Structure formats: C-alpha cells, structure tokens
Amino acid sequence: MERGKRADVPESSHFTPLADGALGIDGASLEELARAHGTPLHVMSWSAIETAYRSVELALGDGPHLIAYAMKANGSPALLSRLASLGAGIDVVSGGELYWALAAGVPADRIVMSGVGKTDEEIALAIDSGIRGIHVESEPELDAIESIARARGVTARIGLRINPDVDPKTHPYIATGLHDTKFGLELDVARRLLPRIVASAELELEAVACHIGSQLPRAASLADAVEITARFARECLAAGAPIRSLDAGGGWPIAYGDEEEAADAHRAFGQAIREGMRRAEVPDLEIIVEPGRALVGDAGALVTRVVFGKEQAGKRFVIVDAAMTELLRPALYDAYHAIVPVRPRTSAARPADIVGPVCETGDFFAVGRLLSEVERGDLLVIRGTGAYGASMSTEYNARPRAAEVLVEAGGVARVIRPRGRVEALHPRE
C-alpha cells in the first residue's frame, strides 16, 4: 500500500529529544506522560497551537478578519477556551458543537454554523444563541430557518455557502467544493434565492461562504473559489443584502511527511484569499477563515505501547495498544502518519506493518514502514494526530476513549480528557 511512498518524519520544534535521548513534547517526557496517564495517550502542545494560530493570523494581513477554528478537528473545550482568548471564533457543524463552543465561553458573535443537515432543533438553538451566522446549504434549509425565525418573531443572520465547483486536488473523501458533492449551493440556485432573502423580514444575509476541501496542497485553488464567491458577494450587495464578510472556509494544509512536494505555506493561502477578492473587485469585506487541521494537526501526537511483535507469512507485524479507535485516518483515507520510537534504537530498520488490536484488517497505522527493532513495552509516537484524531475516535470493540493531555508552557501537562471507563461504555437509563 504505502511501499514506494515517501516516509519522512516532519520537522518539529515541539517533539524534540530530551537530554537522555528519548523524545519529549515541549520539554515534558513522553515516557513520563505515558507512565502517569497510561497508553494509548493523545498529547497536544499548546505552544504549537498558539504558534500555528499566530501564523494564520499573520497570513491574513492587516484587514479585518476572524479565525473561526473548525472545532470538528478537535473539540476539546480546553482548546476552545484557550483559542477564544487569543481572539478566535469557532466554526460549528452541529447542535452538539454549538453547545460546547458556548460552554467553553466562545462569544456567540464569533460562531458560524455550517452543515448540510441542520435539524429544526439545531437551527432554533443557533438562532436563540445569537450566533454570527447560519451558513445555508440548500433551499429547504432556508425555508426552515425563515419559518423558525418567524415563529420566534426574530431575524436570523445567515450566510450563503456557495459550491464554487473548484477541484481542490485533495483526497476525494475530503473534497467538498465540486458540484457532485453534497455541500453548498450551486451559484444559480443561490442567485435565484437572493431576491427572496433580501425581501424577507426574517432573514439577514450578512456573509457569503465557501469551503472547497481539506488538506489543500495548493493555494491557487482557494484563490479561484474565493474569486467566484466574492463575485457573488458583489451581486448580493447590488441586490441590497448587507453583506459584511466573506468566509473562505478552511483546508489549509500541514506536512505529514509523505508529500512529494511541500504544500503551500500559510502566507500563500492568505495571499490567495486576497488575490481572489482583488480579482472579483469586491469592496473591502471582513475575511473569515475556518482552519481546523492547520491550527491543531501538527500539535498533537498519539503515544502507544508495543504489545507484541509477530512474524507471519514473511511479514513483520508490530502490534501496538492504539488502534483505529484512536486514529481512524489510516483506515479511512489510507492516510500517512510518521511513526517513531520514543527512545531511539540503534538496530537496523526493516519493514513492518504497525497495527492495532482491533478485529479489522483495516486496523493499521502503517504498512511496510521501515522501523528499527522494537520490544514489548516500547513506546512509539504517531505524529500529526492533533486534528481528526481524538475527535474521530470510537469505542468499537468496547475500547474506552483514550486520555488527552495538553502540555502548556514550561512542559506542564494537564489532563484535558480523562481516560474513559469500561463500565461507562453503556450508561444505564
């Protein structure tokens, strides 16, 4: 599967060796963390998140902007409140996410809501909490928002999420901006809805939005999508809609280590957004972005212990105590994650399938990956798991959720999610 692919370990100034040679996270020992909190263990560096946030902020330049963190990447309330204190807003996609964003103290006027299947309850919650904007993805959704707002005697603030039909050149499962995906409104549909929205007493159209996909390698595709969206913003303004922002979605990439060519830098994504707006000759609008992975992906790693080694049918298996339950990305997208021993060994590396204990052939982290000899009890660290790692975890095979630890300045580790308990897997009425 991954033979022949590049298999590098991305550089990091957060996951670095300590004085004794074993890997640490911002100066905290991964061995100690594993001893104290058990394995599998999700670890996150707050300083890596803050650095990424500042880098996205810098890329957006001096104009008005809002970084609405896509909390689906990692919804830990501890991260949400810390990000909010830096000035971030949140992109939510469910009533559950909205609940937690509000509970974490994120101001409602910094919350936007996306999603193709918002229920009446979710729409009502969004309206009642006074969020910044509900991003509409279909005509029936618009009908629902309008009638729920009417029943409450209020005006709902909305955005129109355009499907700009731009190919983001990413994995098909995470491409969202092509016409044949379920996301967003086709331009002609959005155009048709415009007069009705402007005339409605229950709707205030304050944003246009797009999101073309995740882990975008090239910023140029975003410039194209923003141009299309910004041209539509002009039409909305001309029709009398009080548009004040353009939401360019997320999708800014991180380096996992298997890239043939490095993806474009944050700077290029910021420039691409400005370029798209310039080409559309749209007046100054506030820019909203919804990065998830770019803020937290690189900041997280999954620490796991080797349970057994096994040679079978001429293959070497390294069986670890983490599984697809803690990190689904390799099983779901054949995604690459760098894997390194916490304490380096000098033995020659040879190919191994690094697999979990779950009863699925797809329960692997790497296939044919070069790895030094390891022994039972050794720790491995799986990098780049801060986004869509813990947040996509499941309890399959009656495996309680792994604990999550946030390492703050000076290497102080804080448990932000205690390990789940087997007895709590099936709560009684």
**Which residues are annotated as catalytic?**
359
Least distance in angstroms from the C-beta of 307 to ligand LLP: 25
Radius of gyration of the chain (CA): 23
50-89 residues near ligand LLP, rule: CB under 6 A:
70, 73
Least distance in angstroms from the C-beta of 332 to ligand LLP: 7
85-114 residues near ligand LLP, rule: CB under 6 A:
91, 114
Least distance in angstroms from the C-beta of 160 to ligand LLP: 13
Among 293, 305, 383, 399, binds ligand LLP (CB under 6 A): 293
The answer to the question of residue 168 lying near ligand LLP (CB under 6 A) is no
CA 148 to centroid of chain Cα atoms = 30
Among 12, 200, 214, 385, binds ligand LLP (CB under 6 A): 214
Least distance in angstroms from the C-beta of 151 to ligand LLP: 27
Among 250, 257, 300, 356, binds ligand LLP (CB under 6 A): 250
CA 230 to centroid of chain Cα atoms = 24
Residue 412 CA: distances (Å) to CA of 17, 45, 64, 384: 17, 10, 34, 21
Least distance in angstroms from the C-beta of 313 to ligand LLP: 31
Stretch that binds ligand LLP, among 2-10, 243-251, 277-285, 418-426 (CB under 6 A): 243-251
Least distance in angstroms from the C-beta of 75 to ligand LLP: 12
Residue 53 CA: distances (Å) to CA of 59, 89, 242, 271, 406: 10, 12, 29, 16, 16
The answer to the question of residue 174 lying near ligand LLP (CB under 6 A) is yes
The answer to the question of residue 14 lying near ligand LLP (CB under 6 A) is no
Other Cβ atoms within 10 Å of 428 Cβ, number: 3
Other Cβ atoms within 10 Å of 414 Cβ, number: 12
Q: Closer to ligand LLP at the Cβ: 154 or 265?
A: 265
Among 290, 321, 363, 378, binds ligand LLP (CB under 6 A): 290
Please report the DSSP string for 129-156 in residue order.
Answer: HT-SEEEE-SHHHHHHHHHHHHHHT--E
**Nearest residue to 9 via CA among 379, 338, 341, 350:** 338
Least distance in angstroms from the C-beta of 333 to ligand LLP: 6
The answer to the question of residue 291 lying near ligand LLP (CB under 6 A) is yes
Query: In one letter, which amino acid is 380?
Result: L
Count of residues touching ligand LLP (by CB under 6 A) = 21
Sort strands 156-161 and 133-136 into parallel, antiparallel or unpaired: parallel
The 322-341 contact track toward ligand LLP, x by CB under 6 A, reads -------x------------
Among 292, 356, 384, 386, binds ligand LLP (CB under 6 A): 292
- Asked if residue 168 lies in contact with residue 213, where contact means CB atoms within 8 angstroms, the answer is yes
Residue 20: half-sphere exposure toward Cβ, Cα within 13 Å: 10
Q: Closer to ligand LLP at the Cβ: 25 or 294?
A: 294
The answer to the question of residue 163 lying near ligand LLP (CB under 6 A) is no
Ramachandran region, residue 313 (left: φ > 0; alpha: ψ -120 to 50; beta: rest): left
Q: Which helix (H) or strand (E) holds 82?
A: helix 77-86
Among 84, 338, 388, 402, binds ligand LLP (CB under 6 A): 388
Residues whose CB is less than 8 angstroms from the CB of residue 288 and which lie 6 or more positions away in sequence, other chains included? 65, 66, 67, 68, 89, 112, 207, 209, 245, 246, 247, 248
CA 293 to centroid of chain Cα atoms = 4
Residues that bind ligand LLP (CB under 6 A): 70, 73, 91, 114, 174, 176, 211, 214-215, 249-252, 290-294, 329, 387-388
